């Protein structure tokens, strides 16, 4: 198997690297983290960054041309998909700020292309790409996280509107999002998976209250969202009434892919190696300690296995094969592995490992304890590890349902 890039792709990679070098916003001391988007100035900067990426032709390249992407629907999508992968990897390598409208670009955008009406596509897709409108995901509710289909937020049809009442929780970015893609119960009598609809809610509609929740990182990245008689036009229904479960699952598969990134894991592992080589343990560099070496070797094997798995996933994508449970494998392995890397980094840093970002003697700008807590959240968000294991065993390995 040839794992190196073709000359044309290698040329493109150099082009992207050069562009990023010239255009990357100045690196901030701290606060590059997605969960810290509370500050309006930072939000404006990140929207401008998304616009710049889009204008340069480096965003949503796999979207069809008619919706602002670069893929020819009747032609070969392989080249653009490969190029998009190269851009994503180069952005991570360059520590570029993340794309603020990622939930739009990678989750609701592709879902609208699949299930949306022409009017919805025309109205929403351009502003998703330009970063003008940011989206949040209204799925989880108190008591309905893993068992998402038990959700209770009601939407009753009243003429040309739905009237929504209920509560969502853990809604990332709701404090500044313009729109929410939301699951609501439209038929309380039907079996739980069959009475759900997928609607788009303008976050400025009267009756919506957003209350930020403080995470253990200290950030206010996610929120409680309350709905009291919120009127949503019927034309904001995506797919058929009461058939939202199918639409919701399409979005979830896109989300799992978004949450698993091999390049990020490789970067974190490189950071860990640097600590092992430079920090001392019993008078020698930590990397010389046999127990540390064994832990590093275990992690190195997993990082490499994941890198190869991502190549297999890319090959499937390029050959038009259905990804099956690959997104779940990716999400499960990458989030658990990132957390394991942070755990060892903190151990090697000793007493400095747990210091807060603002502490005087903080090591590595405090990224390790921050990432330790942040990656713990990612193990839960987008479907917990246990739920991914259920999906892999039932849908992938054909094991009986628990």
Residues that bind ligand FAD (CB under 6 A): 136-140, 145-146, 170-172, 222, 377, 380-381, 383-384, 386-387, 390
Largest pairwise CA distance in the chain? 76
**Nearest residue relative to ligand FAD (C-beta):** 145
255 catalytically annotated: yes
DSSP, collapsed to helix, strand or coil, labels residue 183 as strand
| 149 Cβ contact partners less than 8 Å away, ≥ 6 residues apart | 192, 193, 196, 245
Least separation in angstroms between residue 350's CB and ligand FAD is 28
Least separation in angstroms between residue 102's CB and ligand FAD is 11
Distance CA 200, CA 182 (A): 6
Least separation in angstroms between residue 43's CB and ligand FAD is 16
| 382 Cβ contact partners less than 8 Å away, ≥ 6 residues apart | 252, 255, 256, 258, 259, 331
Q: Which residues of 41-64 are buried (b: 16+ CB within 10 A; e: fewer)?
A: ebbeebbebbbbbbeeebbbbbbb
DSSP, collapsed to helix, strand or coil, labels residue 77 as coil
Least separation in angstroms between residue 174's CB and ligand FAD is 8
Least separation in angstroms between residue 133's CB and ligand FAD is 16
Q: Which of residues 145 and 369 has its CB atom nearest to ligand FAD in the complex?
A: 145
Among 36, 255, 347, 394, the active-site one is: 255
Least separation in angstroms between residue 145's CB and ligand FAD is 2
Q: Which of residues 353 and 383 has its CB atom nearest to ligand FAD in the complex?
A: 383
Q: Which of residues 12 and 135 has its CB atom nearest to ligand FAD in the complex?
A: 135
CA-nearest of 55, 207, 47, 179 to 120 is: 179
Q: Which of residues 139 and 179 has its CB atom nearest to ligand FAD in the complex?
A: 139
Q: Which of residues 162 and 170 has its CB atom nearest to ligand FAD in the complex?
A: 170
Q: Which residue stretches of 78-229 are H helix?
A: 78-93, 102, 109-115, 118-130
- What are the helix and strand counts (H, E) for the chain? 12, 10
CA-nearest of 203, 201, 221, 200 to 212 is: 221
Angle CA(119)–CA(155)–CA(172) in degrees, nearest 5? Answer: 75
Least separation in angstroms between residue 143's CB and ligand FAD is 7
In DSSP terms, 233 is beta-bridged to 161
Q: Which of residues 172 and 242 has its CB atom nearest to ligand FAD in the complex?
A: 172
Q: Which of residues 71 and 148 has its CB atom nearest to ligand FAD in the complex?
A: 148
C-alpha separations of 235 from 117, 160, 273 in Å: 9, 8, 53
- Name the DSSP class of 36: G
Instruction: At 262, list the tokens.
Output: 């091999």
CA-nearest of 94, 129, 127 to 23 is: 94
Please list the active-site residues: 255
């Amino acid at each position: 198997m040839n794992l190196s890039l073709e000359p044309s792709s290698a040329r493109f990679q150099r082009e992207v690297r050069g562009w990023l070098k010239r255009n990357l916003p100045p690196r901030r001391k701290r606060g590059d983290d997605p969960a810290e988007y509370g500050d309006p100035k930072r939000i404006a900067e990140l929207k401008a960054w998304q616009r710049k990426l889009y204008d340069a032709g480096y965003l949503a390249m796999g979207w069809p041309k008619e919706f602002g992407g670069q893929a020819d629907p009747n032609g070969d999508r392989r080249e653009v998909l490969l190029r998009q992968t190269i851009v994503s990897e180069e952005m991570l390598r360059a520590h570029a700020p993340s794309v603020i409208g990622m939930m739009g670009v990678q989750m609701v955008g592709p879902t609208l292309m699949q299930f949306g009406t022409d009017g919805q596509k025309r109205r929403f897709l351009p502003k998703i790409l330009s970063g003008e409108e940011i989206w949040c995901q209204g799925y989880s509710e108190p008591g309905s996280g893993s068992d998402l289909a038990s959700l209770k937020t009601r939407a009753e049809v009243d003429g040309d509107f739905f009237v929504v009442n209920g509560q969502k929780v853990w809604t990332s970015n709701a404090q500044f999002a313009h729109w929410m893609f939301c699951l609501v119960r439209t038929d309380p009598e039907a079996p739980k998976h069959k009475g759900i609809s997928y609607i788009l809610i303008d976050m400025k509609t009267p009756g919506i209250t957003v209350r930020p929740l403080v995470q253990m990182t200290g950030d206010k990245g996610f929120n409680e969202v309350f709905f009291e008689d919120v009127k949503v036009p019927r034309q904001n229904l995506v797919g058929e009434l009461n058939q939202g479960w199918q639409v919701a699952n399409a979005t979830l598969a896109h989300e799992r892919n978004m949450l698993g990134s091999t390049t990020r894991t490789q970067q974190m592992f490189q950071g860990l190696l640097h600590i092992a080589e430079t920090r001392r343990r019993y008078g020698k560099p930590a990397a010389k300690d046999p127990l540390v070496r064994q832990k590093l070797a275990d992690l190195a094997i997993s990082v490499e296995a994941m890198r190869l798995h991502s190549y297999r996933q890319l090959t499937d994508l390029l050959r038009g094969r259905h990804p099956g449970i690959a997104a779940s494998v990716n999400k499960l392995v990458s989030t658990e592995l990132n957390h394991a890397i942070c755990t060892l980094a903190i151990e090697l840093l000793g007493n400095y490992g747990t210091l807060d970002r603002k502490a005087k003697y903080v090591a590595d700008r405090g990224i390790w304890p921050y990432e330790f807590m942040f990656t713990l959240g990612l193990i839960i968000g987008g479907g917990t590890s246990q739920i991914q294991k259920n999906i892999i065993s039932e849908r992938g390995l054909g094991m009986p349902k628990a």
